[in-house]
Amino acid sequence: MRISELSAQAGVPVPTIKYYLRESLLPEGERSSPTQASYGDRHVGRLRIIRALIGSGVSVAETRKVLTALDDPPASAHDLLGTAHAAVAPPAGGDVDLAAAERLVSRLGWERGKCDEAVLAGVARALEGLDRAGFTISDEVMTAYLDSVQRIARAEIEGVPTDSAEAAVRYVVLGTVLVEPLLLALRRVAEQLASAERFG
What's the 3-state SS for 131-160?
HHCCCCCCHHHHHHHHHHHHHHHHHHHHCC
Listed ranges 1-9, 15-23, 28-36, 70-78: which one lies at the site for its own copies (CB under 8 A): 70-78
Report if residue 51 touches its own copies, rule: CB under 8 A: yes
The smaller minimum CB distance to its own copies, of residues 1 and 52, is found at 52
Q: How far is the CB of 36 from its own copies (least distance, A)?
A: 27
119-138 residues in contact with its own copies (CB under 8 A) are 119-120, 122-123, 125-130, 132-135, 137-138
Report if residue 197 touches its own copies, rule: CB under 8 A: yes
21, 45, 68, 130 from 176: Cα distances, Å:
25, 19, 15, 23
Report if residue 68 touches its own copies, rule: CB under 8 A: no
Give strand ranges (E) for the chain.
30-33, 36-38
What gap in Å lies between CA 66 and CA 56, rounded to an integer? 13
Q: What does the per-residue mask of binding to its own copies show for 148-177, with x meaning CB under 8 A?
A: xxxxxxxxxxxxx-------------xxx-
